[in-house]
Every structure is written in C-alpha cells, then in structure tokens.
Structure 1
Amino acid sequence: MLGDYIMKKTFLSVMALTALSSLGLVACGNQANGSNLSNGAKSKTLNWMEKGNLRTLDPSTIVESTSAETLANADQGLLANPKSNELDSGVAKSYKVSKDGKTYTFNLRHEKWSNGDPVTAKDFVYGFQRSVNPKTASQDSYILDHVANYSNVSKGKAPVSTLGVSAPNDYTFVVHLSKPQTYFKYLTAGSVMYPQNEKVVTKLGKSYGTTSQNQVYNGPYTIQGWNGTNDSWSLKKNPNYWNAKNVNLNQVKFHVVKDGQTGMNEYQTGMLDQLSLNSKQQVENYNHSSELHKFNTANSDYVELNQQKVSAFKNVKLRQALSYAIDRNQLVNNVLGDGSKPLNSFVANNLAKYKGKDFANEAKVNSSSQYDMNKAKELWKQGLKEVGKNGLDLKLTSDDSDTAKSVSEYMQSQWTKLPGLKVTNVSLPSQQRVSRLLSQNFDMCLTGWNPGIPDPSATLDTRESTNSMNFSKWKNTKFDALMNDAENTHSNDENKRWDDMVKAGKLADKDVSAVNLYQNARPTLLKTNVHGLRYNSTGDSWDFAKAYVSDK
C-alpha cells in the first residue's frame, strides 16, 4: 500500500500463519471485545495520530495506507480482515466453493448503506466491474486477474458486463474464476473488491470519494469531516451497520502529525490517545513503559529507480552500485532505531513459510543487502562509462515525515560518495509524493509495500513488467515467466509454485529491481485505558470495531 506503504495480494495451506495473525491490542495485555466493555467505561472517543493525509475514499483507486486503513473501518467487503488462520465474516455471512475451485458463492446479510439503501449483490457486481473497468484507472485492479474474462475487460476489449460476476438474487453473489486461486477468499477483504452503490457513484460522478460527504458506507463507522485536503477527520459510529450494537466507540478522531515533537507534546498533554513514534530517541525514552508496543509488520521499504525517466537506470551496474552503497545495519540501528530490520530480500521476513522455511531466507541474495562502498564506487564508474556519462544529477523523492526525511538524508549522504553523483532530496506531503509516483514523475522515490496477505506473490507481483505497481519499469522476461508459472502452470502444485517464486525473488534482487532497505517496524504509544484494538501485520493494520476507552 502506498503512503507510508503500498498495497496488496496468497495463501499456501501449509504456510506458517504468524504473519497473518492479528493482535488483540490491550495495554494491559488482555484481549477485549465488545461484550467485555467495562461498566466503568466512560469516554466514547479515541484520538488517533496519522502520519499522512487521506488521498481518496474511492475504494477502486485507493493505493496508500492512510486512505485504505480509514476506509477499512467504514466499508466492508465480502469477508473482513483475517485473524489467526480464519477470516472475519463481512457482508457475506457464509460462502461455498465449487469442487473445481473456480466458483465462489457468497450468501449476503441483509444490511444497509449509511444513506439507508440496502446493500445487495448488485452492489458487489458493480463494485467488481467498476474496479476492472479501464476507465476507472484502478492501480489495484490486477488483484481481480483470476476473475473470468478479466483480461479482456481490463483492456477494454469486452464490456464490463462480461466479467465473471453475477447476482442471481439480491443476497447471493457469485464469482467465476478463470482458474483456481486458493487464496481468493483472502483477497475479498481488500478495498478493490468492496461493494459500491451505483446510484451514488453515478450521481456524484468525478466527485465520488473526493470528500467524506461524497461517499456512502456500510461498515462499523462512517467518515466525517474530510473536505479533500484537510489533515483531520473522524470515524463516527454507523447506526446502519449490521453489528452496530457491538461497536463501542462513538467516534475516532484522526489528526495528521508529521513532526515528532509536536506529536509527543500532544500525546503527553492528552490530546492524543495513540502516537506512532518517529525517532530512535523517542523509542529509547519509552523502552520501559507499559505504553510502548513494538509491532512487527510485513512492510518492505525500498527505493524505486525510475528507468522510464532516467534511462541510465537500465544499466544494472549503476543499480547495483546504489544498493552496495547503503549500510542497512547502520540505517536501522543508528538512523531509525525503532525496531526496523534490514530486508533479506524484496519480500519481507516472516511473511510466508513453506515446510518450515521462510521465503525471505530462501530467496535471499547476499549482494542485495550487502554494504561495500569500494565495490559500489567501482560498479558506479563502470556503469557510467557504459552509459556514456561522467555523472548523474538525481532527485530522491520522499514523504515529509520525520522518519522519511531522516532516511532520505542518510541515503543522500551515502550516495553522494559515489563519483559524479549529485542527489537532491525532495520532501513532499504523502498525497503529493504518491501522485508523483503514480504519474512516473520522479527519478528515485522512497516508498514501500504492504502485501495485504501472507504470500510471496503479493509482493513479487509488483515487479512484473506489466503490473501497474511496477513504478521502476524494471523488466526481466525470465522473472515474468516464473511468476506466470507460479500463478498459472503450477498454481495447484505447492512445491513447484514455491520454487517458481523463490527463483523469481532471487532474480529480482540480483538484478536490483529496487534498492531494498528495511522491514518497517511500528513502535506505538497507547494510553493504558485503550482496549480492544486489533492490529494486523498484513493488510489494513488497525481495526477499531471493538475498541473502547475505559475510565482511568
């Protein structure tokens, strides 16, 4: 997921499920749910910090984390965020899969949109069709690539009505796949597969999802107070939600805080109930506090090298030089100091395991995470000679948060040691940085990826030459062939599929499809009277449906 991260996609039945597990976040260490609300609970409002601004509330075009996590608490798909090895029931109260694994039939609840309209199977048909419709320009539409006739519809060669989805009646939704996809059920929790109210979309036109008022919701909360550019908004309890009686909070107030000291002041004075820590010093100051929670993520942070804009990046030696010039241990320990770990491969550690082996270790290529400045300088000189240049003048684009600025400054200090390289840092609000990434208006961009579900393909897919999330425009035909085999030829053979992806992962790292940096950690301060929050290491991290604030 873009923003702090980018987003999405598989599940092997024998995978270890630790990366999928959601944590019942309770400051005192006990899981809480709606039925356990203390009689002494008084506050019905939670004050929450966000690092970045909302970009859109259109479920088809969301690609960054702030928008995705906010909308995940206001909208709901067929199934909801996974916990342990199961999925929560969403709009679908049950479902069944055909023996050949190609047809999913979902039985829907009788529920309403926030405007009072019924949520029906037709809303899912329309939502799927709108996401795949090329006119929508959904970056995440590829997630539906196994739905029958996706290819023709997404390329504008067939009408959206021919997509493999149907509504036999108002409360039965059927998805026909072109081939089995064992992890399809996990994908249905993502925003690109949310239902959408056609009447509302048609009425609002281009303004759909551009403000909180230009949207309707079917989840635990509605979104209020976002005008499209401001940096504060709220989740408010949705009385039309099917399980509203078990939603404890009346409101979650979001405040965008980019300066670490400002955030700390607001947390310490009670203006915030939660704070994402932004520096090594902040983490060290709270290391022995019961308010500090260090969450592991499956997020990969890296630098995209735009081969479309900077043709010199097509030279592998130049890409390798940029990678060798980064001391990742120094970066995570001395610059970040927040629990982040160096990436072993483009795929995060502990995202997926098969037969007891972690994919990141299986696909590890030492050179992709090794620091060797002498080798970097040598490769840089060779690369410049091969492309006929004496040097390069490049811009490194990043968010304007404290963390992103610190990382960018470190990258700049290391890269400018390479002869003939000048690096200028460009720090932008998250919304603008994402816009530049999507429009290919960057030289190098500090970004990241949240895979959404615990499967290597969820990350590796973004390196395929035709994938809309491949912002570097890196292309390797052998890599594409291996991923095609994993998703098609060997989709039902776990051994061969795993082997395909391991080989593909090694290719991507050896060829430096991106400069791998670190696996992001999430050190978070949380007031001790906040209970019932759920954190997911993959997908949309924070679930407020059963959260509550007790009396101190």
Structure 2
Amino acid sequence: MKLKSGIKIAGLALLSGLVLAGCGKQSSSESSKKEISWMQINSLTTMDPSKATDQISGQTQNGTNEGLLRMSTDNKVIPGVAKNYTISKDGKTWTFNLRKSKWNDGSAVTAQDFVYAWRRTLNPKTASQYAYIFDHIKNANEVNTGKKPLSALGVKAEGKYKLVVTLAKPQSYFKYLVAQSYFMPQKASYVKKFGAKYGTTANDLAYNGPFVLKGWNGTNDTWTLVKNKNYWNAKAVKLNKINFQTVKDPSTGLNQYQSGKLDVVTLSGQQVKNYKNNKEFASRKVASTWYLEMNQRKIPFFKNKNIRKAISLAIDRDQLANKVLADGSVAAKGFVATDMSLHDGKDFADASYVKGAVSQNLAQAKKYWAKGMKEEGKKSVSFTLMGDDTDQAKKTNEFVQSQLSKLPGFKVTNQNLPYKTRLQRSADGQFQMVLSGWTGDFPDPITFLSLMTSHNTYNNGRWGNKQYDKLIANAEGKDANNTDKRWDDMVQAEKILVNDEGVVPLYQQVTPQLVKSNIKGIQFFPTAPIWDWSKVTIK
C-alpha cells in the first residue's frame, strides 16, 4: 500500500520536549470518556475500498469496516465476518461461512455484499489500481479487461451467509488478502445512491466494522471514529471514540502531546535520539520501502541501464537513514523489506541481497554516467524530482538532489506536493522522477515483487523485464505449491530488479512514537493494515 511520509523535529521543540518528557499533563481524553486522540501526518484521501491506494485510507477502513477475516499478531488471521472457512484439497475453492452481522444502519451483511464489492473493484469502469490483486480468482483478468461479464467472476453467494470463491490457481496467501480493505464488503444501495460521491465523505457509505467514521467532509484534516453499536463484536470494543488530527509541523505535535491534546504522536530526526529511553517511546519497524522511480514510459533517457545504475550508486543510503532521517529507519537492502518473510530460517531480504546494487560507489557511478551520457548523446540533463510536502520527504528529496549533483551535468529540481496530488500524478505518469513508498499488504515477498511486473498499475515508471515477469508468473503459477521453488523464483526476481535498477531502493521506514502510558492494547502489524484499534483500552 502506498506510504505516507514522516516528519522531523525542530531544535527548540527538542529542548522543550526533553524538559517535558514523562511529565506532561494528563490527556484531555480522560479514561472515563474512553476516547483517545491520535496524530496522523497526512490527511485521509478516500473511503472507497475499490479506489483507496494509500496507507491512511487503509488504516481507517480497517477501523470502520471488516472483511471475511482480520489480521492478527504473528502473521495470523482471525475470524471476521466469516466465522470459519474451508479450503478444497486442490486449494482452488474457498468456502466462507458468514456470521449474522450488521451494517451500522442495522441491515444484514450478506455474502452478496462481498460479491458486489469484488465485482465493482474489477469492473473496468471503476479503474481500481488494486484490481490486479484479485488476479487469482477465476476469470478476474478477463472481467477486469472487459472480455467477460462481471457475473463470470469466480465468487458466488450460496444463500445469505455462505460465500464460495473459486480460484484459477492455488494461492496460499489468499487468507491474508480477504483480511484487507480492498476485499471488504460494500453495500450496493449506498454505491448506487451516492454514485461518484461514494466514499468521498463520512456520510457517503455504510460501515460494518468496530467503528463508524464521523466528521470527515473529504478535505478536512480532522476526523473521528465512533464505536459502532451494531458491530457484531461491539462488546469487545472498549473505546467510544478515536479523534484523528493531521499534524505536519513537528513542534505542534509535540506541544499538543505534552499539553494532553494528543495521546499518540509520531517522532522523527534528532527527537528520536532524545526520547528513545522514555517509557512512552515506541519504535515500530514497518515492512515498507521508500524508493526512487524514474519515468521510463515517457522518458527514453531513463531506459538506459547505465544511467539508472549511476543514479543508484551515487546515493549513500546509510547517510540518508542514519544522518538525514535519523529516526530509526535503515538503509534498504533491496526492494522487499526486511523482517517480513522467512524461509528455512533466512530472511528474504538477506537471501536476495546484492550489496553492490544498493551501496554507494561514486567512482563507479561516474563511469556508468559517462558511458550512459555518451550513449544518449547528452552533455547535460535536467529533471524534476517529485515528492510529498512533508518535512521528511523534503529532506529526502534534498539529500537525493545533492547526491545526484555529483554526477557531471545532472541538474535535479525538487517538487514537493500534497500527498494526494503526488499519488495521483504518479499513477497518471505525470512525473520525471518520484520518491515513492510501499508498505507490504501481507507478509509475503510477492506483495512487493508483483508491483514491478510490466503491466502492474503500481509500476508507475513502467520498468519491464521479461525474465522478471516469467519468474513472478512461475511463483504465482506452476511453482505456487512448491515452497522451495517459489522462494527461489522470487529471490531470482528480486536480484534481477535490483541489478537492473528498475527502481532505486533507498530506505526501510521505522515509525517512532510517543504513546501515553495509560493507553494499552494498540495492535501494530509490520504489514497492512498497520494498526488495529478495536482492542485499545485506557487504564
């Protein structure tokens, strides 16, 4: 899932924070109110499950809606709307038995709500960027390209409370997919009633999860999750309300935390060093990678491998992570994040690590650059690097700009835009170079690797490699049930990607936070949806 950017802390705020740490006022969210206030560093963009692509939207939807299953700790799934499920011996038929649950308006959540939602996502008219992830369902690709009708999709309701899914080929991680926001049910009457407005404000859709969204008009920087009294497991939800506030200025966030206006805030930069021993400090390593994309679909210059290799080898990732970001983030070992997937005790990122492809070597970079510039008939070039408008993105852009300026004749101009704008321009191919981020949707390397296949809608730069595509197809096809071969396919694919510098991995994100000590039960996941607030309590 597309990532949000982080923030940094100003010097004065650091000094005041050191004095106030651990002795701030009691939060205004008194335990008797059973509510907390949470800082977000970017605004909510959409609540339409078929169109959401970013992390904030996915997190919010996980709080307000529920799929067949829910993510849990230790890479496990637990029952959601489905109370249980069975899988056929050949791995192609998944049967979900639904519990009797309700939408927030009191009407029943049925199997047909899932059928409708999945068909809507795959409808070519919807133009969902997440349509690709349904590709294992029978006829999904044909439906999505308009070659077959929506009714041909391999999902059907057998009565109100049984959903049968037919896959074209086995998919061991399908259980993780049905726990994600893009597989959640949608109420057809709401979609038809609101049309193009569906999911653009808090009032334009129905909710079946632990909370209901309130106070979001589509553009404002505050919104609230209120306990859903019609949620099937409402008794287990202890919070009455979660107040979200978008805060981009770090000193403002810190001040509001210390004055009791915020209960959870995100830290960055030097602030982390000063708070890491505080009892309210928490460091969350996310399965996310920030990387540089070059627009190869519109700019032939970036199709030159020597140019891409020069760009990659010119960047000191350790300096970026340790000195510029200084928030616990680490230099990327590759495109796939670390600490997410193991095979025979070995982390995928270690198994696929190509040190020479992600380490700075300025002398070698200049040689590749000279060769590439000669091949392209250029003496100088000028390109724009697009990124978000947050402090962390600006600092990253500035660092990359300075690093690339060491390549003779390379001028880079930075362009920092609002998060929503950057996402849209990236998807539309309206960029030259862009700082992009991805959080794994589920704990399997394929959640990263599938993005870089030639025709994936998230492959914004349109890098392509036939051998890479074949290896991913094998991992998802003929080798899907052979754990060793599938792993080898993915390792080889990752090595092709990083050696070819299809994208330039920069760093893996760590989210450092301050959390009031009386708040318990926050569930954090390295992959999507990142947070589960349904079990939070206030002591």
Tell me by how many angstroms 1:87 deviates: 0.8
- Structure 2 equivalent of residue 8 of structure 1: none
Match of 1:260 in 2: 250
1:305 is aligned, of 294, 304, 312, to 294
Q: Distance in 2 between matches of 1:206 and 1:294?
A: 39
Instruction: Name the CA distance, whole Å, in 2 between partners of 1:115 and 1:509.
Output: 49
Residues 332 and 225 of structure 1: is their aligned pair in 2 closer, same or farther, counting only changes over 3 Å?
A: same
**Corresponding position of 1:350:** 339
CA contact (8 A) 1:451 1:458 kept: yes
Matched with 2:284 is 295
* TM-score for the superposition, normalised by structure 1: 0.92
8 Å Cα contact 1:346/1:505 also seen in 2 = yes
The yes-or-no answer on 1:430 pairing with 2:425 is no
Mean Cα deviation higher: 457-466 or 385-394: 385-394
1:244 corresponds to which of 234, 251, 270: 234
Instruction: Note if contact 1:3-1:52 (Cα within 8 Å) is conserved in structure 2.
Output: no
Choose the corresponding residue for 1:525, options 486, 494, 514: 514
Q: Is residue 439 from structure 1 mapped to residue 439 from structure 2 by the alignment?
A: no
Superposed counterparts of 1:197-236, under 5 Å: 197-236=187-226
Measure, in 2, the Cα distance between the counterparts of 1:59 and 1:497: 30
In structure 1, the partner of 2:408 is: 419
Shift of 1:100: 1.2
Matched, 1:323 2:350: no
Q: Distance in 2 between matches of 1:381 and 1:76?
A: 54
TM alignment of 1:449-468, pairs within 5 A? 449-468=438-457
Partner SS for 1:442: coil
> After superposition, what is the alpha-carbon deviation per residue over 1:276-303, rounded to whole angstroms, capped at 9, x for unaligned?
1132x11112122001111111111111
Q: In the alignment, residue 475 of structure 2 is paired with which amino acid? A: A
**1:85 deviation in Å?**
4.5
1:395 counterpart residue number: 384
**Structure 1, 529-538 or 85-94: larger mean CA deviation:** 85-94
Residue 340 (structure 1) aligns with: 329
Structure 1 gap ranges (5+): 6-27, 29-39
CA distance in 1, matches of 2:216, 2:3: 17
Q: Deviations over 1:250-290 (max 9, x none)?
A: 111111111111211111111110111132x1111212200
1:3-44 deviation digits (Å, cap 9, x = unpaired): 428xxxxxxxxxxxxxxxxxxxxxx9xxxxxxxxxxx94231
Q: Distance in 1 between matches of 2:3 and 2:337?
A: 18
Deviation (angstroms), 1:86? 2.6
- The question of 1:93 aligning with 2:86 is answered no
Q: Kindly report which structure 2 residues correspond to 1:185-204, keeping only aligned pairs within 5 A, or say none.
A: 185-204=175-194
Q: Which runs of 4+ in 1 moved over 3 A?
A: none
The 3-state SS of whatever aligns with 1:223 is: strand
Question: In the aligned structure 2, how far is the partner of 1:477 from the partner of 1:100?
Answer: 29
- Tell me, in whole angstroms, the C-alpha distance in 2 between the residues paired with 1:492 and 1:479: 19
The answer to whether residue 266 in structure 2 is matched with residue 276 in structure 1 is yes
CA contact (8 A) 1:486 1:498 kept: yes
Aligned to 2:527: 538
Work out which structure has the larger RCO, using CA pairs closer than 8 Å and 6 or more positions apart in sequence: 1
Is 1:53 aligned to 2:58, yes or no?
Answer: no
Retained in 2: the 8 A contact 1:276–1:523?
A: yes
Is this contact kept in 2: 1:82–1:186, CA < 8 A? no
Partners of 2:375 and 2:110 lie apart in 1 by 59
Q: Find 1:378's aligned residue among 360, 367, 370.
A: 367
Q: Deviations over 1:304-333 (max 9, x none)?
A: 111123221100111111111111111111
CA distance in 2, matches of 1:273, 1:262: 13
Kept after mapping to 2: 8 A contact 1:181/1:491: yes
**1:278–1:402 Cα contact (<8 Å) kept:** no
Matches within 5 A, 1:172-191: 172-191=162-181
Provide the rounded CA distance (Å) in 2 between the counterparts of 1:285 and 1:184. 42
Residue of structure 2 in register with 1:4 after alignment: 4
What runs of 5+ residues in structure 2 fail to find an aligned partner?
6-21, 23-29
1:25 match: none
- Three-state SS of the structure 2 residue aligned to 1:67 is helix
Q: Deviations over 1:465-501 (max 9, x none)?
A: 0111111100000100111111111111111111111
322-331 or 258-267: which moved more? 258-267
Residues 261 and 41 of structure 1, relative CA distance in 2, 3 Å threshold = closer
The AA in structure 1 aligned to 2:131 is S
Percentage of matched positions with identical amino acids: 45
Match of 1:77 in 2: 67
**Equivalent pairs, count:** 516
- Give 1:548's aligned residue: 537
Contact 1:43–1:549 at 8 Å: present in 2 too? no
Query: Is contact 2:3–2:438 with CA below 8 Å preserved after alignment?
Result: no
Give the letter aligned to residue 384 of structure 2: K
Instruction: Say if 2:145 is the partner of 1:155.
Output: yes
* SS of the residue 1:405 aligns to: helix
- Alpha carbons 1:106, 1:174 under 8 Å: kept: yes
What RMSD, in angstroms, separates the aligned Cα atoms of the two structures? 1.3
Asked whether the 8 Å contact 2:439–2:527 carries over to 1, the reply is yes
Q: Does the C-alpha gap of structure 1 residues 85 and 324 become closer, same or farther in structure 2, counting only changes over 3 Å?
A: closer
Distance 2:430 2:220 in 1: 24
- What CA distance in whole angstroms lies between the structure 1 residues aligned with 2:196 and 2:75? 39
Structure 2 partner of 1:128: 118
Measure how far apart 1:246 and its partner are: 1.5
Alignment partners' CA distance in 2, 1:417 and 1:542: 41
Deviation at 1:435, TM superposition (A): 1.1
Distance 2:395 2:534 in 1: 34
Contact 1:48–1:273 at 8 Å: present in 2 too? yes
